[in-house]
Structure 1
Amino acid sequence: MRGFLASSIGVTCAAALALPLTLPAATATARPVPTAERADDASAAVPGRTQSLPLVPLAAERALGSAAVQGLTRRDVRHFSLVGVVWDDPDAELHGRVQVRTRDSMTGEWSGWQDVETHNHEHAADPDTAERVTGRVRGATAPLWVGDSDGVEVRVRAVAESRVEETGRGARTATAGASLPSGLRLELVDPGQADDAAPVSGAVPASGAVPASVVVPADSPRTGSLGPDAALASAANAPLAPLGATELPALSRAATERELALLPEGGTRAQPKIGPRPRIVTRRGWGADESLREKKFVYTKSVKAAFVHHTASGNKYQCSQVPSVIRGIYRYHVKSMGWRDIGYNFLVDKCGNIYEGRAGGVAKAVLGAHTLGFNTKSTGIAVLGTFNTSKPSASAVTAIAKLTAWKLGIYGVDPRAKTYLTSGGGNLYQKGKNVRLNVISGHRDGFATQCPGGLLYGKLGSARTNAARLQGR
């Protein structure tokens, strides 16, 4: 699969031995205005490519009397593994259906038509924030993982929108004409391969068990010959390994105090109940190209809640492919959608592996772009997959519990509790409203959306209970 599995193997390497709080990054690359077909510089340290193709009215569909249908007929393209559709106005919604079919680059066979999740605007930076008002942000569907492909066909069909309007004679239902947002483009993302310069000492096997060589263990820092970043990474991570509430002798308490001392104001320092620190695959571990994102980090004052999401990118992936999947989502968020970095703070795969998301430090309160209106004082955890009709794995739900027990524990938060967050504006709560939420909430609790899918949402009660147990409550 054209180096596809090799890319998955290459990213799980000894270069992921540390979880730096502030990894140095190359100067951020300005996002160019899209052309008929755009390819990023393949000579970058971590190569990847985005092809951006404008959609056009489909003649065959027009003949059937539907003018509001755009797409592309079958065409050969450069290799890609992830697809999505973007448009000009980030506040415009796509009321309709997006379907794609792709050609497998190994077998040459075309897939059946697959639906792409169109309601993705709720995964975004809060209104009026610097990230939201850059002028680079676009509306977008969720990304769909399709595997290594070299052919594509897409159709986007608008549907009439019904809404309730208040009139002097009472409420009535109005139907708006079928239309599509302007500037529709198909984004074809090749996640590329990890940096070949990094020494390889392990790989994520198909079983999904992540070897110790790609993560920071929970009880000691790791060192290695990793180039100029090694000293910074090792020093940054030395105090980041509390053993948790179930092992609270002096060593754990001292480690916890050192970790909290690195946090901004807002982290608790009075006998915290912190779950054991889970194994987390670093950004370097999954092969993040740090030149794509903006260089600076943005923080919020504390973490009071965790929002659980699904990526709606489909369930057709192997755990050995996850580094490539995340690189694809990262590139889609930054290059196609115009965000400063990947939107989620953490990602979890079906095998229960946890991955560092947005840069800035896994223990810190990094401001994400995951829950429109409630990114402040929260952390976003996305489970890779779609869970409207498919059940999440037990391993993924357990990983949510482990991660929240540790992350929320740092800030003195009980996973079973409720908290108040101030809305930054959305379709459920107006800006400025103080909203009472579960400390571990689903995306749909803060925004009218199907995310994180009904079957994952139904597992959050179990995650809350287990996270509290891990904290020793």
Structure 2
Amino acid sequence: MRGSLPSCPGVSPLTARSLGVALAALVALAPALPATAAAAPAGSAASGGTRSLPLVPLARQRVLGAAPEQGLYRTGLARFALVGVVWDDPDRELHGRAKVRTRSAATGEWSGWQDIETHHAEHGADPGTAEGSARRLRGGTAPLWVGESDGVEVRVRAQEPAGAPGTRAGAARSPLPAGLRLELVDPGRDGGDGAATGASETEDAEAGEVAGAGAGGGGKTGDGAGAGGGTGDAGERLPASGPADDPPRTALDTEAAIAASGANADITAFGATEIPELDREATERELAGLQGTTLDDPTRAKPYIGPRPAIVTRRGWGADESLRERGFVYTKTVKAAFVHHTASGNAYTCAQAPSVIRSIYRYHVKSMGWRDIGYNFLVDKCGTIYEGRAGGVAKAVLGAHTLGFNTNSTGIAVIGTYGSSRPSGSAVTAVARLTAWKLGLYGANPLGKTYLTSGGGNLYPKGKNVRLNVISGHRDGFATECPGKLLYAKLGAARSSAATYQGR
């Protein structure tokens, strides 16, 4: 896959010291793990599963010049909670509209139609990098959280020709990408010792079954313009997710799980589910230790760093470490933070946030072909901060969040969609607290500007030195709606608050 990816290019002194501590923790603590953990099956935390269903042309009456449309209708499915659409060529974009409705596994009622954000190419690894050139990469939409469901209907329609639709036969239009597939993601359980048995990673459904679903078999069709009823998959049901208040936990039973936890062992207890918050003095003391000095060192300038906020670790939100690629990739420093939204919708509770993150993680890795979840951190609507990509929250981990500007930056995604919905004050405060601490580790001023070299994108060519805000929105580095205009409008307040937390 991407086994040639270097593990530590350009490691900073802070990172090198952290790695030494982490390795020492692995050697010292790994043999002492409980026998029950060592014997647990891989993925015994909240592994979940992914089901991939091919879309087919819908059998519907076409008007002259109508754009092509693909979709499917399925019921009786194994339970899932997040959906997305992927296609074969990662360099292709979907010019058109994708919408979905789902059937609640609890009530059997169908939701209304929801749009899936089709423009997602601006997220991902930089062009030309090992991760960005991997053979299994796919193009894809943003993921959409739909809650626990067992039925789905999806339609993907190509962009209409310019001018009034249906005015000219053979009018030019954007074709749909090849290999369209619907991804159905089950996040698994939030707690418990048993694994949630996942469905197969792909399913090439019989053409007759799926085509029949598109031909109109008398099923409920919502607005009447799409696919009809199809045959279900009775008996193919995954175990339901556990209670939302169950503490997520992951057995430290694999080398990957031990390594992910050990990457934070320089700042918290090995195996912790949450990195606790610190006051300012304790944070400054910790920073001095990471830098190999002490607070009373007369040659050391007083740092500007915000108190460390509490951060839920990957073990805390139940990451299945067997999914991601092994090893960690680092850059030299962290000069900027890019703020994103996940575009996965706002219909989640804070108790469901770990399930949403597990779903996005699985979608990024299994559906999109990335080495790990793309974001370095995630923040939910209640202001809880979560560790994203593995490698250590205090380290300069290379992410896949801002195409062209992943090097020497960190990516923070607020879970939700904020084009027309306002982010909560708790989420904005969490972004400010997180950036005050993370940027402070590397001496960056939240109110300042910095230069990053573009790795290539639609705003700046590869190699261009670009001046950016130290706290930027995704749209500052790539022409995109992300992080949504209402979250983007809060970045000024986040910068000011972060600077205040740093003591500036």
TM-score band by shorter chain is 0.7 to 0.9
**2-structure distance, mates of 1:357, 1:424:** 22
1:178 aligns with 2:174: yes
The 1:214–1:439 alpha-carbon spacing in structure 2 relative to 1, beyond 3 Å, is farther
Would you say the 8 A contact 2:335–2:470 is kept in 1?
Answer: yes
For 2:277 and 2:496, locate their aligned partners in 1 and report how far apart those are by CA, in whole Å. 21
Shift of 1:48: 1.0
Selected match of 2:290 from 231, 236, 259: 259
Aligned partner of 2:182: which letter? L
Q: How does 1:367-386 map to 2 (within 5 A)?
A: 367-386=398-417
Post-superposition shift, 1:260?
3.1
Q: How well do the aligned residues superpose, as a CA RMSD in angstroms?
A: 3.1
**Separation in 2, partners of 1:327, 1:317:** 13
Asked if the contact 2:333/2:408 (under 8 Å) is kept, the reply is yes
User: Structure 1 52/190 Cα, relative in aligned 2: closer, same or farther at 3 Å?
Assistant: same
Residues 28-427 of structure 1 mapped to structure 2, 5 A cutoff: 44-46=43-45, 47-60=47-60, 62=62, 66=66, 68-160=68-160, 176-194=172-190, 196-197=192-193, 229=258, 232=262, 235-238=265-268, 243=278, 247-248=280-281, 252-261=283-292, 270-427=301-458
C-alpha contact (below 8 Å) 1:80/1:190 kept by paired residues: yes
Q: Rg: which structure is higher? A: 2
Q: Which residue pairs with 1:27 in the alignment?
A: none
The structure carrying a bigger strand percent of its residues is 1
Deviation at 1:242, TM superposition (A): 8.9
Q: What does the per-residue CA deviation read over 1:300-333, in whole Å, with 9 as the maximum and x for residues that have no partner? A: 0000000000000000000000110000000000
Instruction: Quote the residue 1:28 is aligned against.
Output: none
Structure 2 match to 1:432? 463
Unaligned residue ranges in structure 1 (runs of 5+): 1-18, 25-41, 163-174, 216-224, 263-267
1:101 alignment partner, SS class = strand
Once the 2 structures are TM-superposed, how far is the Cα of residue 289 of structure 1 from its aligned partner?
Answer: 0.2
Name whichever of 137-146 and 189-198 sits farther off.
Answer: 189-198
TM-score by length of 1: 0.78
Query: Does the CA contact (< 8 Å) of 1:242 and 1:259 recur in 2?
Result: no
Unaligned ranges ≥5, structure 2: 1-18, 27-40, 163-170, 195-241, 270-274, 294-298
Could you tell me which residue of structure 1 aligns to residue 30 of structure 2? none
Instruction: Find the aligned partners of 1:351 and 1:297 in 2 and give their Cα distance.
Output: 29
CA offset at residue 376 of structure 1? 0.3
With over 3 angstroms needed to count, the CA separation of the structure-2 counterparts of 1:183 and 1:109, relative to structure 1, is: same
1:235 CA drift (Å): 4.6
CA distance in 2, matches of 1:44, 1:417: 43
Instruction: Give, in whole Å, the separation in 2 of the partners of 1:427 and 1:261.
Output: 41
Contact 2:277–2:310 under 8 Å retained in 1: no
Identity between Structure 1 and Structure 2 (%): 67
Tell me how far 1:115 sits from its aligned partner.
0.2
For this pair of structures, how many residues does the alignment match? 400
CA distance in 2, matches of 1:180, 1:269: 58
Q: 1:233 Cα shift?
A: 7.3
The 3-state SS of whatever aligns with 1:78 is: coil
